[in-house]
Structure formats: C-alpha cells, structure tokens
Structure 1
Amino acid sequence: MNLLQRRFYIYSGIFLVLLAVMFVVHLGTGFTGLSSGDIARILLGGGTPEERLTLFDFRMVRSVLAILIGAGLALSGLIFQTISRNELASPGLLGVNAGAGFAILLLVYFSDAAGASLWVQPIVATIGAGLAAIFIYRMSYEKGQNLATYRLVLMGISLTAGLHAVEMMLIVRLSQDKFSQVNTWIIGSIFGGTWAHAALLMMIVLVIALFFYVRQSDLDVLALSDETAIGLGVPLNRARFVYLMAAVALAASCVAIGGSIGFVGLLCPHIARRLVGVQHGRCIPMTLLIGALLVLSADWAARVVIAPDEMLLGIVIALIGAPYFLFVLARAKA
C-alpha cells in the first residue's frame, strides 16, 4: 500500500466520521432543539407525533437532500474538470446552472409556478440544463476533429454570460412574489424538498456515481493529452460526450431540486485531488464525501448564523467558496 492509498483510507474515515457527526447536529438544529438523546429516542420509535413529524418530514429529508446535492454537484464538477482538463470547470462555468436558472425564470415569468406541482420546477430545470449543455457541446464540436476542450469552456462562459443578461432584463419585470421565488432558486436553497425528491435524487446520484467509478480507467486516460488517450485506444469524442451528458444529468438533477448552488463543483474536486491524488478510483469517493460534508455543514450554518431567521444556502457556500477560489488562483500565480 503506497502513501496515497494510506492517505485515502485515513481521510475517508475522517470525513465519514465528520459527516455522521454533522448529520446528527443538522437533525438537532431548528426552532425546537433536539439533543442526540432525543433524536435516538425518536428514531427508535419514541417521541410525540409532533417530534416525529419534525424529525422525519422536515429535518431528515433536508439533511439527506443536502448530502445528495453536495455529493452530486461535487462529482459532476470533477468530471467536468477531467473532460475539459481545466481545473476551473464546474456546472456553473459550463452553462448547466445558467440553463436551469433561465428555464425556471421563463416558467415563473409566463405561468403561475407557485401553484404548480412540486415536480414542475425540477423537470423544467433539468430540461433547461440539458439543452444548454447540448448547445455548448454542439458549438464546440467540429466534424472530423477532436473536441476542443478550451472551446467547450469558452462557450460555457459565453452562454452563461448571455443567459444572465437576459435574466436581468426579465427579472426587473417580475412582481414582488415572483421575484422572491426566482431569487431564492437562483441563489440556492434546499428548503421545501420532499422524500419523493430525495428518493429520486438518491437513485440518480448512486447510479451515475457507480457508472463513473466503474469507468475510472477511462477518466484517468481522458485527463491525459489527446495523443496519449488516442494511443491507448479511447474514442475521445464519443467518450467525452457520454461522460459530459452523464455529468450534466447529475448536476441538473441536483440543481433542479436545490437551486443554482455555486462553488461546490469547483472546490471539492480541488480539495480531493490535494488530499488523495488525481486517480479517479480514489478521487471520486473522496469528492463525494467532501461535497456532502460541505453542503450539509453550510446548510447547518445557514440555519444558525442569523437564527431565528435563515440565510440562503447558496450565500453561505459562496462565502466559503470565494475566498478559497482566490487562494487557489493566488497559489497558482505564485
């Protein structure tokens, strides 16, 4: 067992313990405090009906969604960075968040989304993210040539900027209620999710994460130069398209339920690579753990920093992510 493998097992154990502790702390946080003893009593079938309702239908579903959304966004960011060979790539940079946000804005602008089914916004957001990703890929691809990864990133930046400009034009025409609804979604919040959302998202995250883990060798090769990948027998364009669409589906599913949460897909792969190296067999599980812990911790902080009021999750993550991003840039410059 080499050094990186030992570090992987050590850090995996540490992050699993931290995640378990934070899960209990997150369950106990709210208007009515619950101690670890209260939580254990309720989980074992005790407690009043009000306590069981609070724990299972309000707090636990939110905790589970935070873990799944964090893990999904972090893993999608890792795949985007691998495909583009650009450590600044993320769902936000490649237009996934922008496409989903623009679709939600159109839904709210032209209809009464507040009275619609719980599934309408997630479905619309997923469609918007998918269309944005397909458009970026199509504009970056030239027949008979390998996909230009730098063009993929530039197209993502351009589309994101363009959609944000159109969003600003439409947002100023919204009513106060619709503006609040759109603003909450664009910043990011997991409040209001249901067990149905959690079950669907869990299936998506588990299936796609398993798919990427099984294909870890291909992902390791895609991180190398085009010439090396071709020499090792990897069909570059087809592989990049398949993995890109899988990462888009993963990110879109998370964004559809949690809103346009930024920085998770950018930061977590960076931290994972610094801890356990670049091989995807180690990096994928570590990225999942770090993403889950980051979003769960940030959602807990959002509930306690200005209690009894609550901050939006996206704001807390931005407050964490922006300084780290600047640190990475400063370190790279040095």
Structure 2
Amino acid sequence: MIHPDLIKKQRLLLMMLSVLILLTAFIGIGLGYSSVSYDRLLPTLFGYGSFKEEFILFSIRLPRIIITILAGMALALSGSILQGITRNDLADPGIIGINSGAGVSIAVFFLFFPIDAASFAYLLPIVAFVGALLTACLIYLFSYSKRNGIQPVRLVLVGVGFSMAFSGLMIILISAAERQKVDFIAKWLAGSIWGTDWPFIWAIVPWLVVLIPLTLYKSQMLNLLGLSEPVSIGVGISVNRERFLMLIVAVALAASAVSVTGGIAFIGLMAPHMAKALVGPRSQMFIPVAILLGGWLLMLADTIGRNILEPDGIPAGIMIALIGAPYFMYLLLKK
C-alpha cells in the first residue's frame, strides 16, 4: 500500500511540473529570431493577431514546442521502462544504441527509397520502430545469459558497442549521398528538432495516447520485473513474455520520438532518476513524474539552445548531452 502522504506529494509535483511546462512554453514563444510579444500572445492565440503573429505562433513556435514536449515525454517513459526491465539504472534508449538503430533505418529510408511528401511524417515513426526493434533484439540477445538472465553491465557495454557501430555505419551511408540529404542526416545526428510542423505532431500523438496508458496499467508488472529473476518467476508472472512486451513498448516510444527530433540521448536516463529521487522507486509513483520531467527538460534544452546562437542555435541533442554526459558519469561512478 502506498502512503497517502506520498500520493499527495506526487499530485503536487505533477501540478507543479504542469505549471512549469506551461510557463516555459510561454517564455519560449516570446524568444527567438521571430517571436510574438507577450502582450500579443493571448489575442493571437484566440485569433485576434495579425497575419505575421499568427504565422509565427501557429506555424513556427507552437508546433516546435509541442513536439519537444511530446518527444521528451516519450524518451523519459522509454528510459523508465528500460531501467525497469533490465534492472539497470544506466539504461537509456540513446546510450544503449536503440536510437542509433532507429537512425540507421531512417537514413536508409531517406537516402534510398522514394519519398511521398504527404505520408513522410507518418511513415518515419514506423521506419524508426523497425530499426530500433531489430537493434533492441540484438542487444537483448547479446546481453542475455540462460544462467543469470540479463546482465546489467553487459547490457550497457553491448549497447554502447552497437551505438558506435551504427554511428560508423551512418557515416558510410552518407559519404556518397547528395549534399542536401547529408545535411538532413547530420542535423538528425546532432539532435536538431527538425520535425517542427503539425503533421509530425499528429504522427507522434497516437503512439503516446496508446502507450502511456498501457505502461501505467503495467506499472505493477514493472515493479515485479525489477526484482531478481527467481523472485519474479516465484510470484507467478511470465518474465520473458512480459519483459519482451515492455521492451517493444519502450522501443516504440523511443522510435516515435527520435523520428522527429533526431538522435537525443540522456533524457531517458535523467528524468527517471530525478523522479525516483522525488517520489521513490515504485513505478506507479515515479513514471508520471518522469513523463512530465522529460517533456520539460527537452523543451527547456531546445529553448535555451535555439536562443544562444543566432540564427540556427545549438541543437537540443547537444544541449542535453552537455548536461547528461556528466550526469551519466556520476551515476556510473556511484553505481
């Protein structure tokens, strides 16, 4: 049974994070090379702005902010699931190579297949999911031992190895490609938020609408999977089946996010740890907090990055890495 005070703390945190997301989004809309003044924001939002103000708000700022929030949520939830099913606090879709697998599949699709502009945004998450799932299965196979199950340290090492291998493969793929396509892949690798239009939002929303409630429904199962292998089997659950199901959910979430934001790591590492520090390790308590934290962190990183240097700014992936890499080293030394 969860203590009532902890439930109240979680609800208060969720309310505070929601307000923080809205406040950061409000500030972000008013910043940048093209922006809407704060006193004109509400009139423009309700249809009383000029053509320029409505174009900046609805075609530039708002889609980008919504994409960063949704992608951050997906990456945070993916990292929460991976840490639970692998019993590894260092697991993250970017660190263990899942994002790189999605990136390779997107690169192959973008470089070698005819692209229909009307369906491009909706195909990308599916293409990324196929590549990420194949990568996750390979990492799982190489990390699994019949005697001891998943080896946490081995999982990280195998994942890092796959990530490096796929990065090398990506360089080979783009070495003979057209300049325009090379620029796109380079931006993807840097974690530049490129899918900043409404079709990309409609492409990622269905994945979150389905997978977030499913994960919350399975939160107690994640608690059991986080126990040792004999204990998990002893309570009567099918460990391999449930672990593989949640692995697919984690891969789908990561793939849907990176298909529109590029190769962003560390969100799935930091958000779950911060949430656990706030409300404890129970999945049903920390996962909702981690979801909102992930959305806020990515939006904050993108807002800061695009306003540091004009006009292109610093990609959100690099901004997150500047924070996440030292945090990863801290956790590695601590664990």
Distance 1:136 1:309 in 2: 35
> d(CA) in 2 for partners of 1:245 and 1:93?
17
Shift of 1:228: 1.4
Q: Find the residue that maps to 1:189 and give its secondary structure.
A: coil
Which secondary structure state, in structure 2, belongs to the residue aligned with residue 88 of structure 1? coil
Matching residue of 2:162: 159
Q: Provide closer, same or farther for how the CA distance between residues 105 and 192 of structure 1 changes in structure 2, counting only shifts above 3 A.
A: closer
Equivalent residue runs for 1:211-250 within 5 Å: 211-250=214-253
Moved more, 35-44 or 243-252: 35-44
Partners of 1:117 and 1:16 in 2: CA distance: 32
Name the residue aligned to 1:313: 316
**CA deviation map 1:126-151 (0-9, x unaligned):** 32112212333344557x77742435
Tell me the alpha carbon deviations over residues 66-113 of structure 1, each in whole angstroms, 9 at most, x when there is no partner.
100000001100100101100111102332111111123333444676
Contact residue 194 and residue 260 of structure 2 kept, 8 A: no
SS in 2 for 1:323: helix
Please say which of residues 290-299 and 96-105 is displaced more in the overlay.
Answer: 96-105
Q: Which amino acid aligns with 1:127?
A: V
> Quick one: structure 1 residues 250 and 81, their matched pair in 2 at CA, closer, same or farther if it must change by over 3 Å?
same
What's 1:131 paired with?
134
Q: Structure 1 stretches of 5 or more lacking a match?
A: none
Alignment coverage as a number of residue pairs: 331
Is 1:64 the counterpart of 2:66? The answer is yes
Q: Give the equivalent residue in structure 1 for 2:290.
A: 287
Equivalent pair of 1:84/1:153 in contact (CA under 8 Å): no
User: In 1, are the aligned partners of 2:35 and 2:56 still within 8 Å (CA)?
Assistant: no
Q: Do the aligned partners of residues 286 and 270 (structure 1) sit closer, same or farther apart at CA in structure 2, a change above 3 Å counting? A: same
Measure, in 1, the Cα distance between the counterparts of 2:318 and 2:308.
12
Taking structure 1 as the reference length, what is the TM-score of the superposition?
0.90
Q: CA RMSD in A?
A: 2.4
Q: For 1:22 and 1:270, how far apart are their aligned partners in 2?
A: 22
Please identify, of 178-187 and 238-247, the stretch whose mean Cα deviation from structure 2 is larger.
Answer: 178-187
Cα displacement (A) at 1:176: 3.7
Matched residue, 2:182: 179
Q: Structure 2 length as normaliser, TM-score? A: 0.90
Q: Match for residue 49 of structure 2?
A: 47
Q: What SS does the aligned partner of 1:193 have?
A: coil
**AA paired with 1:202?**
V
Q: Distance in 2 between matches of 1:192 and 1:269?
A: 25
Name the amino acid aligned to 2:245. V
Within 1, Cα distance between the matches of 2:332 and 2:245?
A: 30
**Percent identical residues:** 37
Counterpart Cα distance in 2 of 1:238 and 1:145: 17
- Aligned partners of 2:175, 2:195: CA distance in 1, in Å? 25
Most deviating of 147-156 and 181-190: 147-156
Where do 4+ consecutive residues of structure 1 move more than 6 Å? 112-116
Q: How far off is 1:171 after superposition?
A: 3.8
Match of 2:213 among 197, 204, 210: 210
Q: Is the 8 A contact 1:146 1:237 kept in 2?
A: no
* Unaligned segments of structure 2, at least 5 residues: none
Could you say if the C-alpha distance between residues 169 and 84 of structure 1 is closer, same or farther in structure 2, counting changes exceeding 3 Å? Answer: same
- With over 3 angstroms needed to count, the CA separation of the structure-2 counterparts of 1:72 and 1:54, relative to structure 1, is same
